[in-house]
Amino acid sequence: MNGIADSQVLLRLPRKAEDAAFERVEALSPPERQILEILSAAHGPLAVCELEAIEGLGSEDGHHEPDLAARVETLSEQGFLELREETGGSLAHMCHLALASQIYRQMREDVRISVHRRIALALMERLAGTGPGRTPEDIAFHARLGGLNGLYFKQALIAAEKLCEARACEAATQLYEEILERLGTGAVLETGSTSIVQWVPFNEGWGE
């Protein structure tokens, strides 16, 4: 009997742990799922204040859903998120990369583009503020996926220049190649009516 009971239990289990976790995601409220979608698209941790800014950019009145901190705490208690305290406040990130990837794949393309766009703008706003800023690579990554071509080119060039200064030649070359490839696809610089393509000194300051 025990063997039959055990087999019946096993038959009721999803074939993959990720499927079971995603079923739990689908049972969450829309505001809770939105947090998981943002963090899945972020591909890394976000400060709670950044989550607030990103939610605000997606709302009609510019405000995030109420009780965001409480929702983040609940998701942490349920095992979806991990929270850690930093000097600038709490950082949240997805606990399971496989689940984050599955959530990201399930998002509609227009939703993914919108989320990346909002993340890029929120990170740029934080970079311009008094708090700890984000690296140009972070902003360029989300600007590219969010269709913000002008912001992407500006931040990607800044990132490449910093890599040159750090003598990270291979990484800088890859980034310059990505920039040139994107220019070749017909991406338009968002600088008004004039398109500006600036020559990048590939070898300057790299040494022998």
- 143 in helix, strand or coil? helix
Poorest-pLDDT segment among 5-14, 68-77, 132-141, 191-200: 191-200
Whether 15 has a pLDDT exceeding 90, the answer reads no
pLDDT digits (tens, 9 = 90+) for 150-164: 999 999 999 888 888
Determine the average pLDDT of the residues in 187-206: 39
Whether 59 has a pLDDT exceeding 70, the answer reads no
Is the model more confident about 201 or about 22? 22
- Report residue 42's pLDDT band, with 50, 70 and 90 as the boundaries: very high
Task: Kindly state the percentage of the chain with pLDDT values over 90.
Answer: 37
The answer to whether 47 and 91 are in contact (CB under 8 A) is: yes
Whether 61 has a pLDDT exceeding 80, the answer reads no
Predicted local confidence at residue 187, as pLDDT: 54
The answer to whether 142 and 117 are in contact (CB under 8 A) is: yes
Is the model more confident about 189 or about 10? 189
Phi (first) and psi of residue 46, to 5 degrees: -130, 145
Question: Helical H runs in 27-186?
Answer: 30-42, 48-57, 68-77, 97-106, 109-128, 136-145, 149-165, 169-184
- pLDDT averaged over the chain? 77
Whether 63 has a pLDDT exceeding 70, the answer reads no
Sheet (strand 81-86) strand order: 46-47, 89-94, 81-86
Burial (Cβ within 10 Å: 0-12, 13-18, ≥19) of residue 178: middle
Determine the average pLDDT of the residues in 29-58: 90
